[in-house]
Amino acid sequence: MNKKIIFSAILLGCISASPITVGFWGQKSSDQEQNLLRYCMSSNWDVINVAFVSEFGTSGYTEVNLAGHTAVNCRYDGDCASVGDEVTACQQTYGKKILLSLGGAAGGYGISSTTQANDVADEIWNNFLGGTSSVRPFGSAVFDGVDFDIEGSRQAQAPYYATLANRLRSYFPSTRNYYISASPQCVFPDAVLGPDGTSTGTLLSAAQVDWVNVQFYNNGFDACDGCNIFGYNYANRLAQWATWAATEQTYFLIGAPGASGVRFADPNGGCQGGFVSLETLESALSQACDDYPSSFG
């Protein structure tokens, strides 16, 4: 498959024995990743996360970085209206769900208080989802929800992401479906997103999510400790997420890099970032569907 028409990461599940695919778009340069609409035209994808909102909260402003897909980052009204037109076409013409992913491995984002969490939720709702604002970076496009991909040393901020998510969900009307997903690393619990087993703690303990995109790739030192698909500790990690998802009556998906050309920073040197062959990925998907039919995707 042509690497230029493949996402930097894919997440797969098996609701009703029919695989569901979620892709991340926006973090490969335009010579490596085609425009959003090109992927929406394919039947391979059900949900696409546009990544990332890399500045918000403690940054002092909110901005989407699409890694060169746009002439400027998406901060002011209409900055990325052309991408917004593609978002709308993806939804209306091709029936895709398009979410906006918050965070990523880089960027100056963060949340330092409950007040700030609520303020960021209001801004996300009004500027990108179903609210109204004089600042709509993607023009009239209305995203179908948000994904939380919170990484780095942000453990102290963990409770505020639950506050943000709960505030956002309070705005969701009954007349349209909006979604909240999370993309934790495969180590259980995730250092920032959790779960931590309390009702007032991390996002995955104190907020409702519709599904989780578990990253069995790009996990730093733990990549050599079994986090990659079929690594020696993979089965244990998978079981932990499956048990949690079943308890919470939600779903988890298996995340993997979408192409062999995708490489992530690896402090161990010997691990390859988590890419596996299509045959290996299909085997992992089949096994998870068989072993965890009630909670896998």
Q: How many residues does the chain have?
A: 297
CA 270 remoteness from chain centre: 26
Structure tokens, 276: 């596996």
Angle at 142 between CA 76 and CA 58, to 5 degrees: 45
How many beta carbons lie within 10 A of that of residue 261, not counting itself?
13
**Partners of 98 in the β-ladder:** 48
Active site residues: 151
**Start-to-end Cα distance in the chain:** 24
User: What does the DSSP assignment read for 7-76?
Assistant: -S-EEEE-GGGS-EEEEEESSS-TTTS--HHHHHTSTT-SEEEEEEEEE-BTTSS-EE--TTSSSS-B-S
Spatial CA neighbour of 218 closest among 277, 182, 265: 265
Calculate the alpha carbon distances from 34 to 37, 181, 241 in Å.
Answer: 8, 24, 32
User: What does the DSSP assignment read for 234-272?
Assistant: HHHHHHHHHHHHHHHT--EEEEE-SSTT-----TTSS--
